[in-house]
Structure 1
Amino acid sequence: MMSNNTGIRRLLENARFEVLPTATIAEKVLASVPRDTTLTVTASPAKPLDATLGMAERLRAEGYRVVPHLAARMINGRNELAEIVDRLRQADIDAIFVPGGDATPGEGHYTSAVELLDDLATIPHSFRQIGVTGYPESHPTIHDDVTIQSMWDKRRHATHIVSNMTFDAAGTAKWVRRVRARGVSQAILIGLPGPVERAKLLTMGAKVGVGESLRFLTKQKGVFARIAAPGYSPEAFLQKLVRTADEPAMKIEGLHLFTFNQVAETQAWREQLLASAR
């Protein structure tokens, strides 16, 4: 039985699933994930952004609330951004997540999430939620000072901060407190890898570039080992995090679960923990 059942239940009920826009993911989602689950669809420089947008449209048409990732460095300036905004409006998609992305920006493309967000503020849109990235653990290629400044710059546009993948509950709690001490007040979703099978994880990991979460893994030494190690436990992380999450001033709204497209396994795990917490 998990401790602090009310807090655990709130985090799990407000968990969203990150999926990669592969050929089979829609069928997997439809077979195992309830329609009231929020899904985020990653963007990858290995695929055109249309793969992300097309999958988001398909899942939205099936009744899911969908959050496409608009990787800034994959978008060629304001005109293309305006077209994407209109396309998502027609699909009744009212939430986006804006990372910088791993692509090398071409001529005329945005070079950062801040640039895209500045332009988005000048375009009429119907997005109720705009998420940006936070880094509880150091980014493998960006200095901590830069990530901190970037979050401060993006706060005026964002409604949510979505943390990158994290394994250190105590470090995450300290990070949340530092964010609040700087005067950043947006709600936070904690990025957490769900339970994954080692063989499937390694198979997905071999497909370098299929999604931002996997690209992050290939850069972060030891992350595969941390997920796949026998001692890794999302439940233990939640037990430690919930004490901070229960503080209203911290505004930890829920979880962003990295599923690596193992959506059936992730949903079964969530249902089991919810049943225990009830």
Structure 2
Amino acid sequence: MSALKSVHKSVQRSVHKSAPLARRGQRADRDRAMRRLLTQTRYEVLPTATTEDKVVASVPTDVAVTVTASPGKGLEATLALSERLAGHGYAVVPHLAARMVRDRVELVEIRARLREAGISSIFVPGGDAEPAGDYADAFGLLEDLATLEDPFVHVGIAGYPESHPTIADDLTVQAMWDKRRHATHVVSNLTFDPATIRDWVARMRLRGITMPLLLGMPGPIDRAKLLTMATKIGVGESTRFLAKHKGTFARLAAPGGFTGERFLRDCAVVAAQPSAGIEGLHVFTFNQVAETEAWRQKLLSELPA
């Protein structure tokens, strides 16, 4: 059996074999994986007028903070908030949406500005805006970044466990392969289904994509608001399916529907397998940072030390 097939089978077995978690050892492995993921967590925030105060008031400085970029607010809002949060002592990860960067000259300026602020990590999605200049996708920007002096230590790229709204699934996996030389890790987009994560991780590893993975998941946001926000940020089949199946929407929005705890517990079964390469969490807070940090601390307190 090839090494890649072995990885695939290992990740696939992790859920099928352990789903009931009947054995105490399996439960212990899951709990250890949950604690590791909750310890290696970073929070995604939106650059609004109140974000800085919310983060400083609620988030310890040992939790990294990522700052999104959107066409509506412009890249300057992302960069300015990132600089201020770095000044408070946070490890900050600004999103450099490739289509929002005009050209190599602006990229050099951004790199210098962020490095001056002590920022050593970035996340490079393609972005949803019309290209502002030379970069139509993340790959072109990553190629230029790789040629600059004083590079960033950590460079994340996007992964899509579910269908991207505008890009075919095969192309998103191929894009990860193409970008692997210029990136240090993958950040998965939001999904509600642990089985989707399991299967996607297996496919990714089978294709030879070995970069560490940060698992994208929602924080303890109100479920109805979660669906509204998820639609806006481009989740794939989860939201499209829910739009067509009102009963499923009702179950998700009602008490006892989707919960982050259950999602994380199920994904931790996969993360317990070293072959999965899941090293931490990327939590979509939707700026509910106080609630998210309280949720994280509660889960940690309930797990065995």
Deviations 1:104-162 (A, max 9, x none): 113x3310000100111111133111000001111122111111111111111110100
Aligned to 1:256: 282
Counterpart mapping for 1:87-236 below 5 A: 87-106=113-132, 108-198=133-223, 205=229, 214-216=232-234, 220-221=239-240, 222=242, 225=249, 228-230=253-255, 231-236=257-262
Amino acid at match of 1:26: E
Amino acid at match of 1:140: P
Aligned to 1:209: none
Amino acid at match of 2:193: D
**1:38 equivalenced with 2:56 (yes/no):** no
* CA distance in structure 2 between the partners assigned to 1:164 and 1:241 by the alignment: 14
> How many residues get paired?
269
Determine helix, strand or coil for the equivalent of 1:270. helix
Give the superposed CA RMSD: 2.2
Amino acid at match of 2:233: R
Deviation of 1:33 after TM superposition, in Å, equals 0.7
Amino acid at match of 1:100: G
Match of 1:47 among 58, 73, 84: 73
| 8 Å contact kept, 1:35–1:64 | yes
Deviation of 1:227 after TM superposition, in Å, equals 6.1
| 8 Å contact kept, 1:28–1:263 | yes
Determine helix, strand or coil for the equivalent of 2:82. helix
Deviation of 1:244 after TM superposition, in Å, equals 1.4
Deviates more, 1:38-47 or 1:143-152: 143-152
Determine helix, strand or coil for the equivalent of 1:155. helix
Aligned to 1:84: 110
Amino acid at match of 2:261: E
* CA distance in structure 2 between the partners assigned to 1:81 and 1:213 by the alignment: 30
* CA distance in structure 1 between the partners assigned to 2:186 and 2:143 by the alignment: 17
Q: What TM-score results when the alignment is normalised by the length of structure 2?
A: 0.83
- Unmatched 5+ stretches in structure 1: 206-211
Amino acid at match of 2:42: R
Percent identity for Structure 1 against Structure 2? 56
Amino acid at match of 2:190: M
**1:240 equivalenced with 2:266 (yes/no):** yes
Q: What TM-score results when the alignment is normalised by the length of structure 1?
A: 0.90
Q: Name the structure where helix makes up a greater proportion of residues.
A: 2
- Unmatched 5+ stretches in structure 2: 1-26
